[in-house]
A and B are shown apart, each in its own frame.
Chain A
């Protein structure tokens, strides 16, 4: 009986090998997504910055962008404008850059509104720094280059 059970388990594993073989189930388990021409006019309008590369995109990324287009409808006009502006740059980034940016953003998202505002203010101050000051920062050794940069709430407002 045990041998038969083992045989059935092995058979089941053989049948599902294509799914298990992939390191990332998202890549194989996402069914084919529509081509650019198959998108609705509304979806094409929202995702217009991605038109050129849409048909070469992996299925899971197409599905993700269709999810973004779905959420787009519920955004304010300012948010929609920001999505349009950032979409092209986001798609051009490497997967590692996107992953690092997402991880950093998740930390930012979990901050209090005051801390978020403080980070935005700090970014504006940083942008105003003279070039030689930024150069000096670039030349400093990184404390931990393996981890992506993550915004930390200003000390005065950390909780």
Chain B
């Protein structure tokens, strides 16, 4: 009996066994399969949310409401600081650009790299 034939015989035996399962067992197998499918993990639509959910479930079980409050306050502080910093930077840009545009110096003098070379070489002479 070669290997292929042996596998064929096993399959036959298993198929015969399937035919002989009584209805009670089929119902129990069906119910067990449905239970297993109902708790099967579904791929998350949003991996970031899934990661956060996993983190909260397994790492932050002991965190109390006041810790969450502290975290929210810290996040708000970071947000306000970033907003303030952005405001400052935009104000600085407005200052510099206003002065630059109103200056009695042509824009080309600021952009022309050859002018700078010429300036340096004329100083060196």
Contacts and interface: CB of A to CB of B under 8 A. Distances in A.
B121 to A, nearest CB: 8
B113 A25 contact: no
Q: Please report whether the interface of chain B is mostly helix, strand, loop or mixed according to DSSP.
A: helix
Interface of B: 52, 55, 59-60, 62-64, 67-68, 70-72, 74-75, 78-79, 82-83, 85-87, 89-91, 93-107, 109-123
Contacts of B107: 86, 89-90, 101
Nearest to B93: A64
B100 A16 contact: no
Contacts of A143: 117, 120
A80 B101 CA distance: 9
A12 to B, nearest CB: 4
Q: Please report whether the interface of chain A is mostly helix, strand, loop or mixed according to DSSP.
A: helix
Interface string A96-138: 0100111011101100000010011011001001000010011
Interface of A: 3-5, 7-16, 19-20, 25-26, 28-31, 60, 63-68, 70-72, 75, 78-80, 82-83, 86-87, 89-90, 93, 97, 100-102, 104-106, 108-109, 116, 119-120, 122-123, 126, 129, 134, 137-138, 140, 142-143, 148-152, 154-155
B60 to A, nearest CB: 5
